[in-house]
Amino acid sequence: MLKLSWKYLISKPLSTGLNILLLALGLAIITVLILIQDQFENKMSKDAEGIDLVVGAKGSPLQLILSSIYHIDFPTGNIDMSDAMALSKNRLVKNIIPLGLGDNYQGYRIVGTNHDYLELYNAKMATGSAWEKPFDVVLGSEVANKLNLKLGDQFIGSHGIGSSSHEHDEHPYTITGIIVPMGNVLDKLILTSIESVWYTHDEDHDHEKFEASVAKTGFPETDEDREVTSLLIQYRNPIAAVQLPRFINSKSALQAASPSFEISRLFELLGVGVKLVKGLAIIIIVIAGLGIFIALYNSLKERKYDLAVMRTLGASSGQLFIHILLEGVILTLLGAIVGIAIGHLFLSILVMQNEQGALSGLTAAVFLKEEIWIILYAIIVGVIASLIPAWNAYQTDIAKQLTKA
Amino acid sequence: MMLEAKKIEFHYNPKQKFDLPDIQLSQGEQLLILGKSGSGKTTILNMLGGLLKPLNGEIKIGDTSLYSLKGASLDKFRGKNIGIIFQRPHILEPLTVLENLSIANFFSGTKGDKNENLLKELGIFEKRNEKVNTLSEGEAQRLSIARALANSPKVILADEPTASLDDENATNVVKLLKEQAEKYNAVLIIVTHDQRVKDHISNQITIGG
């Protein structure tokens, strides 16, 4: 039975192929959307886990979140150490992690911070250990892999976030550790102490200072006028969520942004686009369904005779019904499989071309439960599209059909 | 009696009733039904083949009253016991020659282990794996005969099997039908207006005046 339907399908390769392709395209779009959405949201929430509030210079709160947690946008500017220190003494703050941004090495961001940042993500070292002295750095696994760097290697950072303007050639960094693959933002970062970031930008070179060990937690001790880029804050209690942002935002120099709030706002903004594309995909699928319906319906006209002959050979009307229905279902099932394949292929190409962008770290080699739904939906489309033609086949009047010709 | 049609009546239009004869044939008997077009030849064949229910009367094949069967069981019975050959071959195009036979086996639920033999006897064995659109008219008609025989039917019905064939092919087809019917000891009924067939089967009735 399956074979029979299949034979009829491949006897018209053009219309069969076209219908499969159309359906596949629609489903591919949905597959890509689902994959990206799922992984993106997953990644986003994973990266922001444990961070209740981000404090930085005034500017766009979304930009602050993107630059300080996800390391994709540019920082809003720097804030004074004194302000930061004051904040850390606030009783509503449980933990505060300073970040110093602004440099990169071959596009990978160098982040000055303390060991609390590693703990925040439960980062384990694959080799080596965390930084102890200025200019010691720890690499994310992706950085180490892509740049082919090993323990003990030295490199020179460049000023700027993306493309570099000038190189800080006086102070090479030494790799003291490489983090195991985390599957989060750490993979793409080069971590070091706040002090490293400061000293790189200093004009004078106090070599004694370079030998002192750096602060492992909290803020580095310094009597100089220093700055940091932003602060990651954990609340001590729920009241902090209400009071702290208001308190910080009222101070002129600082801005506080909540990751969960900003990210949901971001998704809301993206949501419009996603909905639009989804709508487009659904329209394509409906058109594909109509295409299948029309193809089956037209072929039925030519095939009425064939169907009548099958009846004379002993086929019951129920068998003919199934025969036509199967054709629709085979078509859509193939469309679904091809569509999902195209979707995954498309995503993998997208990821390949965006290695350092926001899409990096996504993978096409993941299959979601939703994809089974895609196949199911496709089959439903197939059944609906072939129902009327199949019913016609069911009702074929053999004698009339055979005498007509 | 292998095939029996008693007092069957049919009309498409009450004013033009077909005048249909009773038919009684035992195993292996052959019958030629002659008549002009419009005389109800095809109608009678459709009724005998279980494709069209007569308005009155009864048709029996073996011990089964054909129209006491309903729906799928009638389809199955037809597939197993009645082989029908049409004026034009009506072969299923997407399938190969051999598949056209196995589909008949499939629908009627028989084994079809003599399909290859059948093709050999009808001289189209070499083409068994080819698409049917490569066949000539004569070959196609032979294939449709093979398909009608694929389930070793008790009754073979042929509706104008020679109408679209030239003299030589027409003679061959009639001969083939006779041979095969005799071989399977099946009832053979040929409905035709083709005078060329007349000489081959002596048992004849003419309907429609």
**What ranges do the domains of chain B cover?**
3-206
B-facing residues of A in 359-378 (CB < 8 A) are none
pLDDT digit string, tens, across residues A163-187: 556 676 677 889 999 999 887 888 8
Distances (CA, A) of A212 to A9, A194, A195, A224, B9: 77, 13, 10, 16, 115
pLDDT digit string, tens, across residues A227-259: 899 999 999 888 888 888 888 888 778 899 999
Residue B102: Cβ within 10 Å count: 17
B97 contacts in A (CB within 8 Å)?
Answer: none
Q: Is A315's Cβ below 8 Å from some Cβ in B?
A: yes
- Name which residue leads in pLDDT, B169 or A401: B169
**Has residue A397 got a pLDDT over 70?**
yes
Q: What stretch of H or E contains A87?
A: helix A81-88
The pLDDT value given to residue A204? 67
Q: Is A14's Cβ below 8 Å from some Cβ in B?
A: no
Whether A188 and A43 have beta carbons less than 8 Å apart is answered as no
Please give, rounded to a whole number of angstroms, the shortest distance from the CA of A375 to a CA of chain B.
Answer: 28
Q: In sequence order, what are the beta bridge partners of B158? A: B85, B190
Mutation target to probe the B interface, by most B beta carbons within 10 A, among A6, A299, A312 is: A312
The shortest CB-CB distance from A314 to any of B42, B43, B108 is to B108
Q: In sequence order, what are the beta bridge partners of A15? A: none
B108 contacts in A (CB within 8 Å)?
Answer: 313-314
When pLDDT is cut at 50, 70 and 90, the band that residue A201 belongs to is: confident
Sign of torsion over alpha carbons B19, B22, B26, B29: negative
Please give, rounded to a whole number of angstroms, the shortest distance from the CA of A396 to a CA of chain B.
Answer: 11
d(CA A105, CA A113): 16
pLDDT digit string, tens, across residues A81-98: 888 888 888 888 888 999
Percent of chain A with pLDDT over 70: 94
Query: Using the beta-carbon criterion (under 8 Å), do A315 and B107 form an inter-chain contact?
Result: yes
The pLDDT value given to residue A278? 85
d(CA B102, CA B115): 8
**Has residue A351 got a pLDDT over 90?**
no
**Has residue B187 got a pLDDT over 90?**
yes
pLDDT digit string, tens, across residues A21-68: 988 988 888 888 888 888 877 878 888 888 999 999 998 999 999 899
- On whether the B3-206 domain is CATH 3.40.50.300, my answer is yes
